[in-house]
Amino acid sequence: MSDYELIQKAYQCKSKEEGLHYYTQVVHHQAQTMSLSQLKMECVSFINRLQRQNMKMDHSLNVGDVCYIDYGPMYQYEAGYQHFGIVLKLAHYKAFVVPLTSNTTTHHSEKEHVFKVGFIEGLTKHSICFLNDAKFINTSRIIDVYGHLPVHDERFIQLRRKVFETIFG
């Protein structure tokens, strides 16, 4: 049965047991097509969501904090799973964050969707921000705080400006 057919069957379910049957079939089928590393990240994100989805996080978060975040499952060309991110704004249990990477291939990129932050205290490698992946997340997705980029630091000021330009052009 194809994924599409399974989805159609899941929508037509009349009982929780029947829905669970189709849900587990889809998950099992998809998991078989994943690499081991992707399967591990998917599993960690799923468990994190189950444990944290109803939490009201009372982090001692600050704008400029560099956090380890579970962004959850991803679509192609977007940041997902477990990555670092920098907090640009806090608003009612949500944080506006910009995902970070230390990927060396990205470091050589001169594309307009990335911003080179460089070394941030608390991290071990130079970082680059994915400007076009900036978004509000529930603070329950934040696993831990690893560093901080002060809001008066020129890099933070430039980052905020570049995110604004990316969103509003």
Q: Is a pLDDT exceeding 90 seen at residue 104?
A: no
Q: Global pTM?
A: 0.85
Q: Is residue 59 part of a domain?
A: no
**Are 159 and 97 members of one domain?**
yes
Instruction: Report the percentage of the chain scoring pLDDT > 70.
Output: 93
Residue 5 CA to its chain's centroid (Å): 30
Residue 90 parent element (H or E): strand 82-91
Domain of residue 42, residue span: 3-52
Q: Is a pLDDT exceeding 90 seen at residue 36?
A: yes
Name the pLDDT band for 109 (thresholds 50, 70, 90). low
For the chain, the domain total comes to: 2
**Are 149 and 70 members of one domain?**
yes
Q: Is a pLDDT exceeding 80 seen at residue 57?
A: no
CB 94 within 8 A of CB 139: yes
CB 161 within 8 A of CB 117: no
Q: What is the DSSP string of 33-86?
A: HS-HHHHHHHHHHHHHHHHHTT--------TTEEEEEE--S--TTS--SEEEEE
